[in-house]
Amino acid sequence: DWITITQEQVNLFAQATGDHQWIHVDPERAKAGPFGAPIAHGFLTLSLIPRFFELAIHIEGARMGVNYGLNRVRFTSPVPVGSRVRARMTLQATEALQPDGMQMTWLVTVEREGGDKPACVAESLSRSYGAAV
């Protein structure tokens, strides 16, 4: 499913993180800037990964899932406000955790609708408990 990035989301993210750079929060100035519009923070795009997982992945029998971390994160293309993004997630590795967990390593590629290259590429590590194989 596509997720639309709104100026309100960008403003709330700026407020939460303290990153009020004009390329994100000043639409008028951003129109004359290098991207022609305000853009989402890279970390806002990255923070959508749990939502993408929730939309796409269901592990039968799992009682809890946690974000374990990230490796090799790159922001390869800007995400202008009003853009729609989605993610492609490829399972790269699994590791059993005792007594009933599983660690999964995913390659996550966030794409922007109409974009010619990904907006973000990251290796995401997640853990699921209660449904270990």
- Asked if residue 131 lies in contact with residue 59, where contact means CB atoms within 8 angstroms, the answer is yes
8 Cβ neighbours under 8 A, 6+ residues apart: none
Is the confidence at residue 22, as pLDDT, over 70?
A: yes
Task: Report, as an integer, the average pLDDT of 52-77.
Answer: 93
Reported as a single tens digit per residue, the pLDDT across 23-34 is 999 999 999 999
pLDDT for the residue 133: 53
User: What is the count of structural domains for the chain?
Assistant: 1
Reported as a single tens digit per residue, the pLDDT across 81-120 is 999 999 999 999 999 998 899 999 999 999 999 999 999 9
What is the DSSP secondary structure assignment for residue 33, as one 8-state letter? S
Residue of 118, 96, 97, 93 lying closest to 106 (CA atoms) = 93
Continuous segment of H or E residues that includes residue 42: helix 42-47
Reported as a single tens digit per residue, the pLDDT across 123-133 is 999 999 997 55
CATH number of the domain bearing residue 110: 3.10.129.10
Residue 41 structural domain: 3-129
Residues in the chain: 133
